[in-house]
Every structure is written in C-alpha cells, then in structure tokens.
A and B are shown apart, each in its own frame.
Chain A
Amino acid sequence: MKSAVLLLPGLNRDRDMIAALTKISGEPPVTVWQTETEIPDVDLIVIPGGFSYGDYLRCGAIAARMPVMEAVRRKAQAGTRILGVCNGFQILVEAGLLPGALMRNASLKFVCREVRLEVVNANTVFTGRYRQGDIIRCPVAHHDGNYFAARDDLAKLEDNGQVVFRYAEGTNPNGSINDIAGIINEAGNVLGMMPHPENLIEAAHGGTDGEALFAAALEIAA
C-alpha cells in the first residue's frame, strides 16, 4: 500500500516519519507540500510532528487552515486512512476531523520521555496487529498534549470505542482527560495520537513497539 507525508514549514519529525514508512513498507512515501491542493492516490496519509508555522498561535491552528488540509479533508471523507502524530494530531483536531482539543501540558513544560500505552481498541485498521489491552512502549515529545473533550463528546468517544490509546497507569505525561493518548474518528479511518510510534521501530531505538501500527495501517504482510 502507498503512503503520503504532508510537509508543512515547521514540521520537524517529517524525516523520522519518512524513514519509518520507508523502512516498514520498503518504499518511500510521496511528499505533499503545503500549497498543493490535490493529494495523489495513496492508502495512508500521515501528518507528522513538529511545530507547523511555529505554532505561535494555538498548536495546529494555522496548518488546519492551509489549502492542503482541504485536500486531506476530502480524502478523509472518501475513506483514506489518515494518521496524525503529535502536531499532526493537533492539526486534525484544529481541522475538525477529530473532536476535542489539545491543551498545554499540565506541567506547563515540554516533556520528552518514554511512556507506556494501553491499546484500548485493537479493532481498528491502525491497531489490528496489537492485542486488546496490550501495554506497549512509546516515546512522547510535546508541549501541548493535554487532551480534553467536553462531557458529551467524551462520553461518545468512550462509548464508541474511539479511544484507541491510553497512557498506562502512572505514565500520563500531560494530564489528558481519561489518560487519553490517541483517538479515532467515528468512521474509523482518522487516527490522532500524541506519542511517536515512528521513533520506536528498530533495534537502534531500543525497541520496535511502534512498528505494528504502521504495518497494520499499510497492511504489510506479517
């Protein structure tokens, strides 16, 4: 399956993401620059992490209003798989493709460390290679990962199984509500998550727990 990576000025884990997708799928993803209005036919579109446009306004707010995001929205509606990691998650939320908001970390500080994630829903196109309840390792690196959703939205997310990843007990690095680390849209094709699975896919990273997510999303033969 083919993938694409969005390139917006200020994103900085684009190279990590491209390296991960290339390593796992055996071919480099196509890249899509901020000004493009069409996205080529691919099966997975990834919005990587970073600080798009400096994030000098609310994180992801400017990116969400760029023309290229209209193209992403059309692809999402057509059922293409979309993955937003870190700033990518913030952008998806700002673009209204996922509910809720990502606020400043409760500590008010940037945090980079390894956390553990519970796979709350293994029944998605992104998490099918994990087992329900698996606890996996994954690094985080963000300043604004404190997920929040209004009561009704939150209830809906929880009831529909849209909470995909939760920080395992005692490892929530940002104060997110219900320890939420990653959520999926109702249709099940748009996943946003704060942690960085692309930084834990090979021996040099000290582990490969992130690999299964990309392998599932790209339907790589196991």
Chain B
Amino acid sequence: MTIPNEIQITPDLIEAHGLKPDEYERILELIGREPTFTELGIFSAMWNEHCSYKSSKKWLRTLPTDGPQVIQGPGENAGVVDIGDGQCVVFKMESHNHPSYIEPYQGAATGVGGILRDVFTMGARPIATMNALRFGEPDHPKTHHLVAGVVAGVGGYGNSFGVPTVGGEVEFDARYNGNCLVNAFAAGLADTDAIFYSEAKGVGLPVVYLGAKTGRDGVGGATMASAEFDESIEEKRPTVQVGDPFTEKCLLEACLELMQTGAVIAIQDMGAAGLTCSAVEMGAKGSLGVELDLDKVPVREENMSAYEMMLSESQERMLMVLRPEKEAEAEAIFHKWGLDFAIVGKTTDDLRFRIVHQGDEVANLPIKELGDEAPEYDRPWRETGLYSPLPADQIDEPEDYGAALLSLVGSANNASRRWVFEQYDTLIQGNSLQIPGGDAGVVRVDGHPSKALAFSSDVTPRYCEADPFEGGKQAVAECWRNLTATGAEPLAATDNLNFGNPERPEIMGQLVKAIEGIGEACSMLGFPIVSGNVSLYNETNGEAILPTPTIAGVGLISDWSKMATIGGANDGDVVILLGGDGTHLGQSAYMRDCLGQADGPPPAVDLYVERRNGKVVRSAIRNGQFTACHDISDGGLALCLAEMAIASGKGMKLDIDSEIGPAHAQLFGEDQARYVVTVSSELANFICINAEGAGVPFRRLGTVGGDRLTMGDLLSISVEELRTAHESWFPDYMDGTAAQAGEG
C-alpha cells in the first residue's frame, strides 16, 4: 500500500503546525515552492520554540560559557567539563514539563530517559541524576495525582536504567496548578580523549539507525511542548512518548561498547522531533547533506507515513555516522544487545536533506537553513515592577516562635522529601557519598582513591517573580553555595529556563532579566553555563507559572574523606554563624508559610561577598576543620539549625541577642551568602580568627548537646518533635490524611 504525501497545505494546517504566517512565508522564500506535507512537518519540528530557541537565543548568547575547565559548552548534547586525571564530567538539565502534566508517569520517565541519552551519546557513563519538580498547591485536585505519577515515573526509569538519583527539588505553588515542571538532570563520567560529538564528517558515509523501533508515539511532541494549554489538553495525550528503560540500558551498554571500537564518526540521540532533528543537526553541523531512505527504518507499526516517521518521538533511538569498514563489528554489538541496527542513509556533499519513501522523494530541503535559518525573534519585553524595601520591623513577629518554627519545618515546601527520594535508587553503583536530604548529592569518581563530584539543583521562583534579575543571581548563588557547603569547588552549571508565554512582554521581561542575573552571577563566581534548555509557554488559560530558571551545578571534591555534611555535629561542638545576621524577611518562607503573605523585594545577592565567604568555607572544610556545614536558605537560620539538629540527632543550645535586631529577622531572615558550621571547641577560636581575617562576619551562637533545640528564650523544641514535624507532611499528604485532595 502506498501512503499519500499529497495533502493540501492550507492556512489551517500551517497554524496547526504551530507556524506563524510570516514563518510560512519564510519557508516559501527559502525553498521557492510550496512544501510537501512531510516538509511542512519537518519545518514545524525544526522551527518550534522547543528546538529552535527562537525567542531566547538572542539572550542565551550573553551567558558566560567559557573557563579553563570547560571542554565543551552549549550547542552539543551536553556540556563537558574537565575534572583532571584525563577525565571529564558530562552533564545537562532538560525539561519535560508539558508531557508530564498530560501523562505524569510516562512524561517524567521519558524526561529522565532523554537526558540520560544526551549524556551517554557523548561517550559518558551516567553516574548521577537529579530532578527539580514543581507542582501546584497541595490541595489542588490535580496535584496529588501528578506528584504520585511523576515521582513513580522518575523512579521507574532511573531505577531500572541503573543510575543513582542524588539530588533535586520538590516545590508546591498555586502558580504551577496548570503546568507542573519536571526538570531532569544527568551527569556522566568520560575520558577526556574519548568524547563523541554530533558533527558529521566525510561524504558518502553510512548513516546508521540504532536502538528501538520507530512507532507513532510522540508525533508532534516538540510542537506540543511549544504551545500553551487550554481545556483541549486531554486530546494531546497521544503526543506523549512511552519509555522503555530496559532498551535504554541495553542501548547504553551497546553504545559504550561500540565507541570503543572506533566505529563512530558522529553520533546523536533522537530526542525532540526524532529522526528529523538528529539528522539535520548532524548534517548541518558538519556542513554535509543527508539522504535517508525511510523504507530501511525499523518500524513497529505498519503503514507509517513519511510524515509520521520523521516526526515520531519514539524513545531509545540514536543516529550515527559509521566508519564503513567497521560495519560488521558494529552490527554484531547491537545484535548482541537485542537492538536494531540499520543503515538508513548516507552523508552527501550537496547540503540537502533528502527523504525517500517507497521510491518517492518526499522531502528535499536545504539542510543548513533548516537549522541555522530558523526564525529568531527579538521579542518586545518590559521590566516587571519592583517592590519597595520592606524593613523587618514592618513585618509581624510570630506570637510563638516555637510554633512558627514547627510549622516551617513541617510545611509543604520545607518538610522532608524522604517520601519522594526513597522511591529513587540513591545507592546503585556503590559510589553515593551523600544522598538527598543534605546540601548537595555527592558521588565518588569511580576508580579514583579520593575524588568525588557534588551536584545541586536550585532556584527560588518567588524571588524571581518579585525581581527576576536578583532571582536569577540568587539561583546561581544558591547552587554554588550548596556545592561549597560540602567542600566542593564549583566547576560549572547547566540552566533550565522555565517561563510562560514569551509573546507577552512582561514574561519576556522576566526571561531577559533572569538571564542577565544568571550571567552576572556566573561571571563573578567563575561558574560558567555549559549546557541548558529553555521551556516557554508554561501557561494555562493565560496564567503563567512563576519564572523558574533552574540552575544545576557540579563541583569537584578533591578528597571526599574531608567532605562536610549537614549532620556531622558532635556533642560539645561550637555552633558558628558565618556571613552575618539575618535582617531580610521580604519574600521569605516565614512570610509565606507563617503569615500567608508575599511582599517586599527578595534578598539581594552580593556576589563579591558570596565568593569571599564561600572561599573561607571551602578552605576550612578541606582542612577538616568543620564537623558539619549547612547553607542558610529558605526559612533562614532557624530552619537551617533545625535541619542540622534533625540530621545529627543532637540538640543545640544557642543564644539570640535581641540587641542585634528584630528576633524574627535573625531567626527567619533569608539574607544570602551565609552558612552555619559546627567545629570542635578547640578549633572555635581559630575559625573565628580566620573568618575575621578574611572579612567574613561571624557569630558564636552556642554549643551542640542535649536533645533539644533551644534558641535563647524564644524557643525550645525537642529534636524528636522537630523530626516528627519534618517527616510527617509528605507521607500524610500522599498516603493518608490528604486523601480529600482526590485524584484529579
């Protein structure tokens, strides 16, 4: 049976492909004729926001991406950073927001699968993942169902694939009621001299299809991910792909085996827009044409059209340019792992992207223009209004400090995430040194006696909403600080920018200012962005999510035996606050969770101070001088101390001096660049003198001991009571008392 390619191109059809009339005009200009149906699909796949970054490209270019440690910055499947000894870490974060809202289990699972593929396509064995998840308010009817499905999907894929999940975030806010965020991060380890790229080289060489078969799943997924949602969302379910972690695990092993044979000239995973995007990227990067014969593509359904094959987002697939003399060896490896291996085309010297199906040429397009000539917009934007300063004495004090801390420690956003991370395999590979629950996840560098890598993912969306520039800076600074708090030298970061509809100037303004803030912080902290992803149109019925530029960073620990944790305090240790007293309550968790308010500017980040304080902290950790270290973030000093007490199982007796400033600002203020550390009593003076010498404000707060957290005469709570409050919220919400939230 022949499958028709002659479908009338109408304005409705063009609109249904997410192409604007002027974009279609541009297509006509480029190719000098009306596109075929398949060609229209190819343009729609290449030119949508998700693949082309058409709204953000202008601004992404301003980000710092270089550094002596950077081997590969943005533009490849993942960033590559040197960690010494001939090894490198390969990492990236990517969103799977839209599919996860439509079908949470498979949406999240394939998000994890996609990011893992990005990493091992480059020749790296995945060693760690993280997931930054954001959901609507807990009592919204859809939230419970989304949390359960997304967490199970993340675990279902990563656990089976066999990579430890060592960190991440889970946050609830009403602004995510109509759009949840699933940002998946993966990192892998590779030898610096064995990194694989997507740039095709050589004319007339075989283009090989690897992995799973092509089905109709995910057709049009990238276009769907570039649109807003409305009530018709249920109709989009067929655009979500289905994940098969078993095949992905086999694909990983087969690819790594194949790469060792020297057979691979170029390799690219099939992610968004599948065969189209991977083939065009490989050809365009290498300034070569690509010709594909779709009759050779392994399919799992009959009578698939060229359009469907080119736009399928079936998972666990790769495209490779092969050294022809290695064909037999390469094919044997794939067959050993039970995977498809098919030569589906060749590279050409005519810079055309030609698709042949059943003997007919169904597409013939200029390959460079498909990628490089994608529309680029300088969208109008305007700065969002900023809040006037809000001094702490204008914000209500709690009537009962103990009750306030208990409600913070057990609130939806600050409670323990154990219910989530115990569904992830955090220990597989046997290298996990810190699992979720601390400041950063840490894994050993396999085979090295002392090196380890630290990972953290951070952003405070409510800060970004109140001031996108400061919020962008803060996301970077907090990530950098979390790595520092383990003793790691921050190396580089990946950004996952989640925003609303960029066609609205105020949303575009959030994006522009957040990128500006991220850029400034990354420059100042020597923490370049080496990969990333942009997810726009996170809106439902015109309401946008909070601006959420997630930053995931990687740091290097030279000797993990000196690494700091949040729970290492010993009885008799001295508790020291480094970085100054709390003064700033605007946009704080205290205001949100205890007063039900969101007001004032977010805390400003002084990047000079951040760098200075971090340097002192890292150097002390490397010298083995701290028994525990924790950065101060959401919930301020009080929540930081409560988390340290819970983690160590030890109480603390601390003085709070009301002469210094308002007590609620001292306890709950979210001023930046601060840490709480514990040190043995013999070292306490030394640490304080060191801090003073470096210009870092410090305060001896008290000592570790007993079974209560006591802060002056403001509060005294048993560690057990804190723990119960901290551990209860999530299981109660998911398993029991929150059943009234229902299954949306």
Highest count of chain B CB atoms <10 Å: which of A10, A20, A110, A139: A110
By a CB distance below 8 angstroms, the chain B residues around A111 are 422-423
- Contacts A9-B250, A111-B423, A204-B433 given; indicate if A54 touches B159 (C-beta within 8 A): no
Q: Is the CB of A12 within 8 A of B161?
A: yes
Q: Does A127 contact B (CB under 8 A)?
A: no
By a CB distance below 8 angstroms, the chain A residues around B253 are 9
Q: Is the CB of A141 within 8 A of B427?
A: yes
Q: Does B425 contact A (CB under 8 A)?
A: yes
Q: How many angstroms between the C-alpha atoms of A113 and B437 in the bound complex? A: 13
Bitwise, B242-263 to A at CB < 8 A (1) or not (0) is 0011110110010000000000
By a CB distance below 8 angstroms, the chain A residues around B426 are 112
Bitwise, A1-19 to B at CB < 8 A (1) or not (0) is 0000000011011011001
By a CB distance below 8 angstroms, the chain B residues around A13 are 162, 428
By a CB distance below 8 angstroms, the chain A residues around B152 are 109-110
Bitwise, A48-74 to B at CB < 8 A (1) or not (0) is 001101111000000000000000000
Name A108-140 residues within 8 Å CB distance of B: 109-113, 139
Q: How many angstroms between the C-alpha atoms of A53 and B431 in the bound complex? A: 25
Q: How many angstroms between the C-alpha atoms of A188 and B159 in the bound complex? A: 31
Q: How many angstroms between the C-alpha atoms of A139 and B250 in the bound complex? A: 26
Name the CB-closest residue of A to B561.
A203
Q: Does A205 contact B (CB under 8 A)?
A: yes
- Contacts A9-B249, A9-B338, A51-B246 given; indicate if A139 touches B156 (C-beta within 8 A): no
Highest count of chain B CB atoms <10 Å: which of A13, A53, A112, A204: A112
By a CB distance below 8 angstroms, the chain B residues around A16 are 428-430
Bitwise, A33-51 to B at CB < 8 A (1) or not (0) is 0000000000000000011
Name B92-120 residues within 8 Å CB distance of A: none
Q: Is the CB of A15 within 8 A of B246?
A: no
Among candidates A20, A51, A113, residue contacting B245 with C-beta atoms closer than 8 Å: A51
Highest count of chain A CB atoms <10 Å: which of B160, B161, B423, B431: B160
Bitwise, B428-447 to A at CB < 8 A (1) or not (0) is 11110100000000001000
Q: Is the CB of A54 within 8 A of B428?
A: no
Among candidates B159, B161, B427, B429, residue contacting A15 with C-beta atoms closer than 8 Å: B429
Q: Does A179 contact B (CB under 8 A)?
A: no
By a CB distance below 8 angstroms, the chain A residues around B429 are 15-16
Q: Is the CB of A54 within 8 A of B423?
A: no
Bitwise, B612-636 to A at CB < 8 A (1) or not (0) is 0000000000000000000000000
Q: Does B560 contact A (CB under 8 A)?
A: yes
Among candidates A12, A55, A56, A205, residue contacting B428 with C-beta atoms closer than 8 Å: A12
Q: How far is the CB of A155 from chain B (nearest CB, A)?
A: 33
Q: Does A211 contact B (CB under 8 A)?
A: no
Name A91-111 residues within 8 Å CB distance of B: 109-111
Q: How many angstroms between the C-alpha atoms of A162 and B378 in the bound complex? A: 72
Q: Is the CB of A196 within 8 A of B249?
A: no
Q: Is the CB of B159 within 8 A of A141?
A: yes
Q: Is the CB of B244 within 8 A of A112?
A: no
Name B316-367 residues within 8 Å CB distance of A: 337-338
Q: How far is the CB of A201 from chain B (nearest CB, A)?
A: 8
Q: How many angstroms between the C-alpha atoms of A15 and B244 in the bound complex? A: 21
By a CB distance below 8 angstroms, the chain A residues around B247 are 54
By a CB distance below 8 angstroms, the chain B residues around A109 are 152, 423
Bitwise, A132-172 to B at CB < 8 A (1) or not (0) is 00000001010100000000000000000000000000000
Q: How far is the CB of A168 from chain B (nearest CB, A)?
A: 18
Bitwise, B700-730 to A at CB < 8 A (1) or not (0) is 0000000000000000000000000000000
Q: Does B424 contact A (CB under 8 A)?
A: yes
Q: How far is the CB of A203 from chain B (nearest CB, A)?
A: 8
Q: Is the CB of B155 within 8 A of A110?
A: yes
Q: How many angstroms between the C-alpha atoms of A20 and B428 in the bound complex? A: 13
Q: How many angstroms between the C-alpha atoms of A92 and B250 in the bound complex? A: 23
Q: How many angstroms between the C-alpha atoms of A198 and B253 in the bound complex? A: 22
Q: How far is the CB of A112 from chain B (nearest CB, A)?
A: 5
Q: How many angstroms between the C-alpha atoms of A93 and B470 in the bound complex? A: 58
Name B398-451 residues within 8 Å CB distance of A: 421-431, 433, 444
Q: Does A176 contact B (CB under 8 A)?
A: no
By a CB distance below 8 angstroms, the chain B residues around A54 are 160, 244-247
By a CB distance below 8 angstroms, the chain A residues around B427 are 112, 139, 141, 196, 199
- Contacts A51-B245, A196-B427 given; indicate if A10 touches B250 (C-beta within 8 A): yes
Q: Is the CB of B244 within 8 A of A19?
A: no
Among candidates A9, A112, A139, A205, residue contacting B246 with C-beta atoms closer than 8 Å: A9
Q: How many angstroms between the C-alpha atoms of A198 and B431 in the bound complex? A: 12
Q: How many angstroms between the C-alpha atoms of A54 and B669 in the bound complex? A: 49
Bitwise, A182-220 to B at CB < 8 A (1) or not (0) is 000000000000001011000011000000000000000
Highest count of chain A CB atoms <10 Å: which of B156, B159, B244, B427: B427
Q: How far is the CB of A36 from chain B (nearest CB, A)?
A: 12
- Contacts A12-B161, A109-B423, A112-B424 given; indicate if A20 touches B246 (C-beta within 8 A): no
Name the CB-closest residue of B to A7.
B253
Q: How far is the CB of A187 from chain B (nearest CB, A)?
A: 31
Q: Is the CB of B428 within 8 A of A110?
A: no
Among candidates A10, A15, A198, residue contacting B160 with C-beta atoms closer than 8 Å: A10
Q: How many angstroms between the C-alpha atoms of A19 and B444 in the bound complex? A: 14
Q: Is the CB of B159 within 8 A of A56?
A: no
By a CB distance below 8 angstroms, the chain A residues around B245 are 51, 54
- Contacts A9-B338, A10-B250, A110-B156 given; indicate if A50 touches B162 (C-beta within 8 A): yes
Name the CB-closest residue of B to A9.
B250
Q: How many angstroms between the C-alpha atoms of A17 and B538 in the bound complex? A: 44
Name B246-287 residues within 8 Å CB distance of A: 246-247, 249-250, 253
Name the CB-closest residue of A to B165.
A112
By a CB distance below 8 angstroms, the chain B residues around A139 are 427
Q: How far is the CB of B445 from chain A (nearest CB, A)?
A: 11
Q: How many angstroms between the C-alpha atoms of A196 and B164 in the bound complex? A: 14
Q: 12 A-B residue contacts at CB 8 Å? A: A9-B338, A12-B249, A13-B162, A16-B428, A19-B430, A50-B160, A111-B422, A112-B426, A199-B427, A199-B428, A204-B433, A205-B430
10 closest pairs, A vs B, by CB? A12-B162, A54-B246, A51-B160, A16-B430, A141-B425, A10-B246, A112-B425, A110-B423, A110-B155, A199-B427
Given contacts A15-B429, A204-B431, 19 further A-B contacts (CB under 8 A): A9-B337, A10-B160, A12-B428, A16-B428, A19-B430, A20-B430, A51-B159, A51-B245, A53-B246, A54-B160, A54-B245, A54-B247, A109-B423, A110-B159, A110-B423, A110-B425, A112-B425, A141-B159, A204-B444
